[in-house]
Structure 1
Amino acid sequence: MTRITVLGGTGYAGRNIVRVAAERGHTVTAYSRNEPASPVEGVEYRTGDVQDPEVIRAAVTGTDVVVSAVSPRGELEGTGKLRGIERRVAEEAARAGVRFGVVGGAGSLFVSEGGPRVADTPEFPDAIKPEAAELAAVLEDLQSSAAELDWFYVSPAGGFGEWAPGEATGTYRTGGDVLLVDESGESQISGADFADAVVSEIEHSEHRRERFTVAY
């Protein structure tokens, strides 16, 4: 049994991770600004603002893994806001010897080996480019972090979100820095299967100090 803390535990990615982790018997604590509409049985929910250093310190204390599923939206929208928060979590995690996982986006993945990033393609929506850039900067910070920080960064498929929840299939593929697509050129993953991959990474630690991606 692993003690897992999820920041942004009531958002789309976060609540899926929380649910799957609890179903597998882990001890789960979820942080969010507001109480969940549909709490998962056995999960401890705490409210707090991740912009508060004391909230971050409390979240890292007494856990084995802290996963940030926070997005640069709402009050966290704006260049550098989320990046600063993730840096603070990383510092606290390194100090406490806690593993740190970050849920990123697909925008920082490459279309192909040696090709452009997804966010730099003409098809990528302009409205999402700032968010993609912020999450890419978080990854860069992790890649240049001190060796004592045990981290992983997971990018979902391009088709991942509240608007495309999908169904749990129990199957998925993992890759590295290149966007995974199926035979039709589609890049999809359900919330449940994405969470399955994240919790499996927590359980087996196959991607230490690196980014991986998940898709069908």
Structure 2
Amino acid sequence: MSRIAVIGGTGYAGRHIVAEAAQRGHTVLVVARKAVSDRVEHAMYLEGSILDVPTLVTEMQGVEVVIVAVAARGDMAGMLRPAVAELAAELPPEVRLGVIGGAGGSRVSPDGPRLVHTPEFAEEYKPEALEALAILEDLETGAERDWFYVHPAGGFGPWNPGERTGSYRDGGPVLVVDPDGESMISGADLAVAVVDEIE
């Protein structure tokens, strides 16, 4: 079993990853900016922020995988990219790094543009999507460690919770859609995919 830290582990994606990993018997450390009363059984909780990388690295000693499940929106807009770069540079080299991005960084086809660069992509979500994409590009060009990055489906979020089916499709860099052109995954099934990747 792995020792996993989930930064942003009380948010939508993060709490599902925490629950799935704990249910499978992994040791899970939840990092959140505020204490919460609704906790996942068998997970440990730590108040902390990705904006304070030196303290986090010290407090996460012994973990084997760190997942960043923080969105580049609200007060994190413009702050997440440099924080993830600092984290990637400061974690011990044997620690695997995972980042949960957004659907906007997915390609529409293997050689096609990224979703965020298409005319249909909503303007209001572009800043968040572009920062998430920049984090991926930073990892691709500079991270000297084992890392992975997950683009959720287009219809991923608390407004579309769905249920756990235990299955998912991996499109690599391409957005996965069904025969009707819909792109959906529940929080629980995204967590299955992430924990499968860790294992």
Q: Same fold (TM over 0.5)?
A: yes
Q: 2:176 aligns with which of 172, 180, 183?
A: 180
Moved over 4 A (4+): none
Residue in structure 2 matching 1:102, options 82, 95, 99: 99
CA deviations 1:155-191 (Å, max 9, x no partner) are 1000000111101111111121111100111000000
Question: Secondary structure of 1:30's match?
Answer: strand
The aligned counterpart of 2:11 is 11
The worse-fitting range, judged by mean Cα deviation, of 32-41 and 12-21 is: 32-41
SS of corresponding position for 1:129: helix
User: Structure 2: how far apart are the matches of 1:106 and 1:89?
Assistant: 23
Which stretches in structure 2 are left out of the alignment for 5+ residues? none
Residue in 1 that maps onto 2:154: 158
The answer as to whether partners of 1:59 and 1:66 remain within 8 angstroms in 2 is: no
Deviations 1:30-65 (A, max 9, x none): 001112241011100111122113333135421000
User: Does structure 2 retain, via aligned residues, the 8 Å contact 1:60–1:98?
Assistant: no
Equivalent in 82, 88, 106 of residue 84 of structure 1: 82
Give 1:70 deviation, angstroms. Answer: 0.9
TM-score by length of structure 1 reads 0.88
Corresponding residue number in structure 1 for 2:127: 130
Q: Is the 8 A contact 1:100 1:152 kept in 2?
A: yes
Output aligned runs, 1:194-213, within 5 Å.
Answer: 194-203=190-199
Confirm or deny that 1:73 pairs with 2:73: yes
**Could you tell me how far apart the structure 2 residues matched to 1:38 and 1:10 are?**
9
- Give aligned pairs, total: 199
